[in-house]
A and B are shown apart, each in its own frame.
Chain A
Amino acid sequence: MINNPNRPLRVFLCHASNDKPIARALYKRLIANGIDVWFDEEKLLPGQYWRDEIPRAVLDSDAVVICLSKNSVSKEGYLQKEIKAALDAADEKPENTIYLIPVKLEECEVPYRLRSWQWVNLFFDGNNFDESSYSKLLRSLETRAKAVGAAVSVAVQNTSVNEIKKPDENKTLNEDLSLNMKQAILQPEMKEPTPKIYEHNKRLTQNREKEVNLISQKPQNIVSKNIATKPTGQFSPQNKTSDKVEDKRDSKPTTLKVLDIVSVLLLAVSTYLALIYAPEEATMGQVQRVFYFHIATAWVGMLGFLAAAVAGIVYLRTQNPKWDIIEVAAVEISLVFFFITIVLGSIWARPVWNTWWTWDPRLTTAAITELIYIAYFMLREGIEDPDRRARFGAVYALVGSLSVPITFFSIRLFRTIHPVVIGSADPSATGTFDMTGGMQVAFFFALFAFTVIFIDLFWNRIRMGNLAAKVEQLKLKVMR
């Protein structure tokens, strides 16, 4: 594509043959605005091989306008192929590029693959389009034109629309050709690479689509900053605040961003409380300060461990891949936090117990938990099929979560030297102490801070898992 500043914007008009009259009217309006519209009955020359021509035209266009009506949505036919070609081309555009513009010609259901793009309601009353909607479409095209360096004359030359002839009179050879051929030559296509992976991703997509629909109903998520909105009162709710056709589903939610910042602040405050604010312990001295984070990280590790087991059970019951993503997130976080707990514990144990490590029930249980988690990831590594990977992961998380408490009890049948600070204290434990006021503040604050940090990490990790699943899906699309 050559960026000639004076070239007109190239738009591909994608429509069902039954909507030809309306499409023709739209074509004329767009032409009047100086847009180079690829409209099959005008651009296809007799004898041209249209099956080659149309995908090329889609690729050559700066934008694709997809006319949606009851006809086009439900109809099987070449239109669906055009939409697919347009979707594939849209995947290669940078995010937030206006490229696909679904246009509803009448009230109809938007195909789910197109729902991520903001549509415009351009209802046709037989003679005229709804003017305000049309100007919205035009503004979108204008934005696109600026982006690719093409020209659009916004000056509305409202001439040609009323002069549309009845469709029957206007039937050219070309249209006959396209109509007949389109219906005749259609063949089923789509070879899916691995049906299972495809199925899995399809389920994921469906989940995401549900979320996207929720988002798109919230106007504030699709407010465009670039283009001022003019209240007209005639729009459907979806279009009230958005002119810019935009896909925001992958951007980070504001709540999460706030939570990120809060987590960092809480960690800082908690560090201050643990290292400076809390009074020094009488017998153990400074090293006792490790305790605040030691317990807090162990608590988070337990939370993650529980979350993983619950997610595993829910996954097995529902077979919903969302729960698999949650499970992996929980296991990963738990793995790291248990490791931190063990390291902090060792630092404390060296001066107090006079050893880095001892085979105390809690230490052993923590170590075994780590080993189970590592085995969990090795198990997942070895399985290609995502459904089976998720199933086996869930089963192993469940088996592990049952085994760990029994491990703990079994080792506890030996005598323990690990101090029990909360709850009943065992007199034989080494390193027990009573918490005073300042210590309690630091302790409970650390618990709270790490819980928030856990939620934040958990959320971020789940989001990452969803994005990874999406990338996987796009890869498959390319392979197809």
Chain B
Amino acid sequence: MDSRPLTVSSTTVRRPSSTVGFVRAVGAVAWKDLTAEYRSRELFSSMLVFSLLVILIFNFALELDIKTRQSVTSGVLWVTFAFAGTLGLNRSMAVEKDRGCLDGLLLAPVDRAAIYFGKVISNLAFMLIVEIVILPVYSFLYSVNLFNPGLLMVILLGSIGYIAVGTLLASMAVQTRTRDVLLPILLFPVAIPVLIAAVKASGGYLNGDEFSMILPWINLLIVYDIIFVAIAFMVFDYVVEE
């Protein structure tokens, strides 16, 4: 279904000895996922519908009237993104595992890190697409203006951190007996700093706070992103090793 070998075999036969080769391998893995998703649209539709439902439920749970909206919008948005992200991460890895596609990927003569970054890029793409759809819908439903370049940057930074560590943990979770049930349990406690920082920074932008007040949170987001991309890059080999 999703994961026909597609372009992988044709573009990654050469062992990448250079940066160019590495980038090509990353691109091939990401492109494979995006093409598969473009053809099935399974992941995107489920993530989107799920996000809308979460927002709907929050509406009833929190009584999102005008006053509360101001203070909770960033929280609601990030909880929605986190849940949808978990859904996407699980699906993207489960698809690889189901038909032995992961083994095929690992057999490809490319650096394992290229597979990791390819996966990160495709997962990040799915999450960003969902966010791009959700933001206007939320603005429309609750008449809050979410089009703020700062906010969009925070959402990007937060998503990168969340997906960086999420991709690593998802590739561990799919190899366990409990599979997708385990991912949120593994991911949420580890991803708490990124969620806190993202919620705080988004809240700052929505409330029109001064940049100096938001800056520490953005710094924290950047630090988190760097640390977790680096660590995942270093340990990914051990996670997919057979």
Partner of A406, one of B168, B173, B223, B241: B223
Q: Quick check: A383 and B176 within 8 Å, CB to CB?
A: yes
Chain A's closest residue to B184 (CB) is: A375
Do A402 and B228 contact each other (CB < 8 Å), given the known contacts A316-B238, A407-B193? yes
Instruction: Determine whether A384 belongs to the interface, using a CB cutoff of 8 Å to chain B.
Output: yes
> B164-179 vs A: 1/0 string, CB under 8 Å?
0100110011011111
Q: Quick check: B185 and A375 within 8 Å, CB to CB?
A: yes
Q: Quick check: A398 and B177 within 8 Å, CB to CB?
A: no
Query: What distance in Å separates the Cβ of B224 from its nearest Cβ neighbour in chain A?
Result: 6
Query: What distance in Å separates the Cβ of B182 from its nearest Cβ neighbour in chain A?
Result: 6
> A382-393 vs B: 1/0 string, CB under 8 Å?
111000100110
Partner of B192, one of A368, A384, A392, A395: A368
Q: Quick check: B175 and A388 within 8 Å, CB to CB?
A: yes
Partner of A399, one of B169, B173, B192, B241: B169
Chain B's closest residue to A374 (CB) is: B185
Do A378 and B178 contact each other (CB < 8 Å), given the known contacts A391-B239, A400-B190, A410-B197? yes
Do A403 and B190 contact each other (CB < 8 Å), given the known contacts A392-B239, A395-B239? yes
Residues of B within 8 A of A108 (CB): none
Query: What distance in Å separates the Cβ of A331 from its nearest Cβ neighbour in chain B?
Result: 14
Instruction: Determine whether B220 belongs to the interface, using a CB cutoff of 8 Å to chain A.
Output: yes
Instruction: Determine whether A353 belongs to the interface, using a CB cutoff of 8 Å to chain B.
Output: no
Query: What distance in Å separates the Cβ of B196 from its nearest Cβ neighbour in chain A?
Result: 5
Residues of A within 8 A of B173 (CB): 379
Q: Quick check: A399 and B182 within 8 Å, CB to CB?
A: no
Residues of A within 8 A of B200 (CB): 413
Instruction: Determine whether A409 belongs to the interface, using a CB cutoff of 8 Å to chain B.
Output: yes
Do A406 and B220 contact each other (CB < 8 Å), given the known contacts A375-B186, A398-B235? yes
Instruction: Determine whether B208 belongs to the interface, using a CB cutoff of 8 Å to chain A.
Output: no
Query: What distance in Å separates the Cβ of A363 from its nearest Cβ neighbour in chain B?
Result: 13
Instruction: Determine whether B217 belongs to the interface, using a CB cutoff of 8 Å to chain A.
Output: yes
Do A395 and B238 contact each other (CB < 8 Å), given the known contacts A379-B182, A382-B178, A406-B223? yes
From residue 353 to 391 of chain A, which have CB atoms closer than 8 A to chain B? 368, 371-372, 374-375, 378-379, 381-384, 388, 391
Partner of B190, one of A383, A388, A399: A399
Residues of A within 8 A of B228 (CB): 399, 402
Q: Quick check: A406 and B172 within 8 Å, CB to CB?
A: no
Q: Quick check: A378 and B220 within 8 Å, CB to CB?
A: no
Chain B's closest residue to A403 (CB) is: B190
Instruction: Determine whether A394 belongs to the interface, using a CB cutoff of 8 Å to chain B.
Output: yes
Instruction: Determine whether A59 belongs to the interface, using a CB cutoff of 8 Å to chain B.
Output: no
Bound-state Cα–Cα, A246 to B140, Å: 81
Partner of B168, one of A391, A399, A410: A399
Do A384 and B216 contact each other (CB < 8 Å), given the known contacts A399-B231, A407-B192? no
Bound-state Cα–Cα, A308 to B223, Å: 23
How many chain A residues touch the partner (CB < 8 A)? 29
Q: Quick check: A378 and B185 within 8 Å, CB to CB?
A: yes
Residues of A within 8 A of B238 (CB): 316, 391, 394-395
Q: B185, B190, B228: which has the most chain A beta carbons within 10 Å?
A: B190
Instruction: Determine whether A293 belongs to the interface, using a CB cutoff of 8 Å to chain B.
Output: no
Bound-state Cα–Cα, A68 to B229, Å: 57
Instruction: Determine whether A411 belongs to the interface, using a CB cutoff of 8 Å to chain B.
Output: yes
From residue 171 to 227 of chain B, which have CB atoms closer than 8 A to chain A? 172-173, 175-179, 182, 185-186, 188-193, 196-197, 200, 216-217, 220, 223-224, 227
Q: Quick check: B227 and A383 within 8 Å, CB to CB?
A: no
Residues of A within 8 A of B176 (CB): 379, 382-383, 392
Do A400 and B177 contact each other (CB < 8 Å), given the known contacts A395-B235, A406-B227, A410-B196? no
Bound-state Cα–Cα, A316 to B200, Å: 35
Residues of A within 8 A of B239 (CB): 391-392, 395
Bound-state Cα–Cα, A391 to B178, Å: 17
Do A402 and B177 contact each other (CB < 8 Å), given the known contacts A407-B193, A410-B196? no
Bound-state Cα–Cα, A398 to B227, Å: 12
* Apart from the given pairs A368-B192, A379-B182, 9 other A-B contacts in the complex at a CB distance below 8 Å: A374-B185, A375-B186, A375-B189, A379-B172, A395-B239, A399-B165, A411-B196, A413-B216, A413-B220
Which residues of A approach B to under 8 Å, CB–CB? 316, 368, 371-372, 374-375, 378-379, 381-384, 388, 391-392, 394-396, 398-400, 402-403, 406-407, 409-411, 413
Which residues of B approach A to under 8 Å, CB–CB? 165, 168-169, 172-173, 175-179, 182, 185-186, 188-193, 196-197, 200, 216-217, 220, 223-224, 227-228, 231, 235, 238-239, 241
Of all A-B residue pairs in the complex, the 10 with the closest CB atoms, nearest first, are A382-B176, A406-B193, A371-B189, A382-B177, A403-B190, A382-B178, A410-B193, A372-B189, A410-B196, A407-B193
10 example contacts (A-B, Cβ-Cβ < 8 A) are as follows A316-B235, A368-B192, A375-B182, A379-B176, A382-B177, A399-B165, A399-B168, A403-B165, A406-B220, A410-B197
